[in-house]
Amino acid sequence: MTQRLHLVFGGELVDPGKNVFRDVSKIHMVGMFPDYASAYAAWKAEAQRTVDNAHMRYFIAHIHRLRDEEAAASATEELGT
């Protein structure tokens, strides 16, 4: 079975209209989740918790889309083997 990993993270933005964090060192890493449903539940909880701050944004990153197991590995990936 293929894993569909999702990362939930967020933080304060410089401008609510853009996706630029005010301080990258203060990004809140909520966690890694095995499926979209659990990632969405975590995202929603954090978004609701911070609803009073218009500059706070949380995101779901589809980690499984960053790596295609069918594609050939890059030279750097093959250095460890």
pLDDT of residue 3: 77
Q: Residue 33 and residue 7: Cα distance in Å, rounded?
A: 6
List of domains in the chain:
6-69 (3.30.70.2400)
Longest dimension (CA), the chain: 49
Q: Residue 10 and residue 60: Cα distance in Å, rounded?
A: 9
Q: Mean pLDDT of successive 10-residue segments in the chain (81 residues)?
A: 87 94 97 95 96 95 77 56 49
pLDDT of residue 64: 80
pLDDT of residue 17: 92
pLDDT of residue 65: 80
